[in-house]
């Protein structure tokens, strides 16, 4: 894929002129059924199996300072999910990437949350056979959002460990990024009921798994661990492994028990929606001395520095 578009040869598709309702929709641009639309106009049928059966896969990449971060890894994961779900779209990687560039360019955002998704769609004959369905690809770019707000990034998140169990890999392969979030949402309500800000749920063996939209790491004696099974292989999680390799820090994917998490020196969570975010309270008790740890701070800083590095990021084609 070339790094720039000649605007004369390849003019950006025009945004269909529609009424925007700024009160109900984020400011952004979606691609749906071959058209670029304001978010308020991007709507699908209630009969779509993505909605009725959660039969869908998606990926989210972010744009920071006008650059995509690790777009290739997100495209790999998205196309891997499509293949496993036996979905087909009339686009290759470059075609999807071009649509993502266009959504961001048309939105004008320099910091964006950019989602690509595919639903099973609907069967033209309304049959119950998924093989009859016409799969539907969509994408959108909205303002960048974070799991943790500015205050939480400073002082660390307050997390509760719910007893809800993340849907096991034997049921749904977690490598297929999916919208099966009822376990995570129930975990969130457990957390709110206990005065916490977000939740971690368990894996099928009772170890810590992940949270609503994030993976988790703990640091013990300078060594990092993150749950190995029953979790989405997050791109930010992978990025922490890459940053640790560069920094000479030991990191491994292994079971993390609830007790081990509680007695860790440092805890942080990772997500495309916010990057590396500290956790300083678990179930009302401070993690170590309750301050954001030194390794967490160091990784947060280098994570954002990498957003300017051409080896890790690529410029959005705004024109």
Min dist CB 210 to ligand PLP, Å, is 4
Helices 71-84, 93-107: axis angle to 10 degrees equals 120
The size of the chain, in residues, is 319
Q: 56 near 179, Cβ under 8 Å?
A: yes
CB of 223 to ligand PLP, least distance (A): 21
Q: How far is the CB of 15 from ligand PLP (least distance, A)?
A: 27
Of 312, 224, 304, 238, nearest in space to 268 by CA: 224
- When CB distances to ligand PLP are compared, the closest residue is 234
CB of 40 or CB of 270, closer to ligand PLP: 270
Q: Which is nearer to ligand PLP, 36 or 69 (CB)?
A: 69
Structural tokens at position 247: 């920094």
Q: How far is CA 51 from CA 33, 43, 148, in A?
A: 16, 12, 27
Q: How far is the CB of 220 from ligand PLP (least distance, A)?
A: 21
| Interface residue list for ligand PLP (CB under 6 A) | 60, 210, 213-215, 232, 234-237, 270-272
- Taking the least distance from each CB to ligand PLP, the nearer of 36 and 79 is 79
The DSSP line for 219-242 is: EETTEEEE--SSS---HHHHHHHH
CA atoms of 146 and 148, how far apart (whole Å): 5
How many whole angstroms from its chain centre is CA 289?
Answer: 30
Closest contact distance (angstroms) between CB of 217 and ligand PLP is: 11
- Measured from the CB atom, the residue of 31 and 214 that comes closer to ligand PLP is 214
Taking the CA atoms of 165, 168, 171 and 172 in sequence, report the sign of the dihedral they define: positive
Nearest to 147 by CA among 158, 137, 138: 158
Considering beta carbons, is residue 29 or 114 the nearer one to ligand PLP?
Answer: 114
C-beta closer to ligand PLP: residue 61 or 106: 61
Q: Shortest Cβ distance from residue 23 to ligand PLP (Å)?
A: 26
The pair phi, psi for residue 278, each rounded to 5°, is -70, 150
CA 11 vs. chain centroid, Å, equals: 30
d(CA 169, CA 163): 18
How near is the Cβ of 248 to ligand PLP at its closest, in Å? 23
With respect to ligand PLP, which residue has the nearer C-beta, 18 or 252? 252
């Amino acid at each position: 894929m070339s790094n720039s578009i000649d605007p004369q040869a390849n003019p950006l598709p025009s945004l269909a002129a529609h009424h925007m309702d700024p009160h109900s929709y984020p400011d952004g641009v979606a691609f749906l059924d071959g058209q670029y639309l304001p978010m308020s106009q991007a709507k699908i049928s209630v009969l779509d199996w993505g909605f009725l059966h959660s039969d869908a896969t998606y990926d989210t990449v972010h744009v920071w300072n006008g650059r995509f971060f690790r777009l290739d890894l997100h495209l790999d994961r998205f196309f891997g999910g499509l293949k496993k779900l036996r979905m087909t779209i009339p686009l290759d990687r470059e075609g999807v990437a071009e649509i993502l560039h266009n959504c961001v360019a048309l939105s004008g955002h320099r910091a964006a949350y950019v989602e690509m998704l595919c639903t099973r769609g609907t069967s033209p004959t309304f049959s119950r056979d998924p093989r009859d369905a016409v799969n539907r690809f969509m994408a959108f770019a909205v303002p960048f959002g974070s799991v943790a707000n500015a205050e939480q990034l400073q002082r660390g998140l307050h997390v509760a460990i719910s007893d809800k169990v993340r849907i096991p890999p034997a049921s749904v392969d977690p490598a297929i990024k999916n919208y099966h979030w009822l376990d995570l949402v129930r975990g969130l309500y457990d957390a709110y009921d206990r005065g916490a800000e977000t939740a971690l749920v368990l894996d099928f063996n009772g170890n810590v798994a992940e949270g609503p939209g994030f993976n988790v790491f703990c640091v013990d004696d300078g060594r990092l661990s993150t749950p190995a099974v029953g979790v989405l292989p997050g791109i930010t999680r992978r990025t922490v492994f890459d940053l640790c390799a560069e920094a000479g820090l030991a990191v491994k994917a292994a079971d993390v028990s609830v007790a081990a998490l509680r007695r860790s020196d440092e805890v942080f969570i990772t997500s495309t929606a916010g990057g590396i975010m500290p956790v300083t309270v678990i179930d009302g008790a401070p993690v170590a001395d309750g301050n954001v740890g030194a390794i967490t701070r160091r990784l947060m800083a280098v994570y954002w520095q990498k957003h300017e590095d051409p080896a890790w990021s690529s410029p959005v084609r705004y024109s």
